[in-house]
Amino acid sequence: MKKHQQDFLAYLRKERNYSAHTIAAYEDDLTLFASFLAGQGNVPGSDLRSVDHLVLRAFLGVLLEQGFSKRTIARKLACLKSFFSYLHRRGVLRSNPSTLVSSPKLEKRLPQFLDEDTVARLMEQPDRSTPEGVRDTAILELLYSTGIRLSEMLGLKLGDVNLYDRTIKVTGKGNKQRIVPLGSQACRAINAYLRIRPGFARGSAGPAASGRVFLTVRGNGMNPKGVNLLMNKYIGQVSEIAKKSPHVLRHSCATHLLNRGADLQAVRELLGHESLSTTQVYTHVSIDRLKTVYARAHPKAT
C-alpha cells in the first residue's frame, strides 16, 4: 500500500494542487488505515484488492469506538473515497469499494463570521509603523476583500496581482484558476506592502520564495502556521469568537456580500466553490441574522 499511498499524495500535490496541510492530513488518514489493515488477518496490508466495503465499514466502526467525532470520521472516509477512486481510475483496482460506504450524517454547523463593525476594528489592529504591520494589514484586507482561501493567498505570485485592474489571479483546488476583484482598501494596503516588500526579500539567501507575494522577515514565503498565528492574535483583539482563523474572514466576506444583496451565483464564483450548495450555507447565516433583527425590531414579532 505504501507505494500507492505515495503516488496518490504526489498526484494531489502536483495535479490537484492540494495544500500542504490537506496532504499531511490525508497522509495521516492513510497511515491509520494501513495500520488497521495490518491488524486484519484476512486482509494483507499490501493487497488492496482484498479491501471491500465491509472492511471499510469495520474501519469506520473502530474509529467510532476510539472516540473520533462523526465529522472527523467523515473527513477520513472522504480521504479513503478519493484514494480508492484514484486507484480505480489508474486500473489498480477493478472496482471502487468505497462507493458502497455512506458518510456519517453530520449536524449542520453554520460558519462563524465577524460583523462589519468588528471587521473595521480588525483592520486597525496591525501597527502600520512597522514593516510587519504593513504586511499584516495587506493580508487582512486581501482575505476579507476577496474571500480567498489561505492556501490560495500563500500561493499568490507577484505576477498574479494586478493593481491597475484591481484583480488577482487565484489558483484554487484542482489547479483551477479564477480572476477575483479587489476592493479599493485592499488595493491600497497591498500597494503599501509591495513598496516595502524588497526589504523582506533582502533577508533571503536566494531568490525571495520564487516571487511569492507574502514573505517573512527572513525573505521566505509565509506558511499556514504563521498566518494562523497572526489571525489568532488580531481577531482575538477584537472578538471573542471561538474560531480565529483566516477562514473567518472568508466566511465574513461571503456573509456580508449576501447581506447586502449580492447574487448567490456570483458569490459562488468569487469563492471558487464547485457546487452552489456549498455557498448556500451563507444564506442560512443571513436568514438567522434577519430573524434576529426582525425579532428585535418588529412591534408584533413576539
The amino acid present at 262, given as its one-letter code, is A
User: Which residues lie closer than 8 Å to 261 by C-beta, 6 or more apart?
Assistant: none
Cβ distance 170 to 152 under 8 Å? Answer: yes
Judge contact between 172 and 272, C-beta under 8 A. Answer: yes
Catalytic residue set: 149, 173, 247, 250, 273, 282
Q: Which residue do the cell numbers 441574522 mark?
A: 289
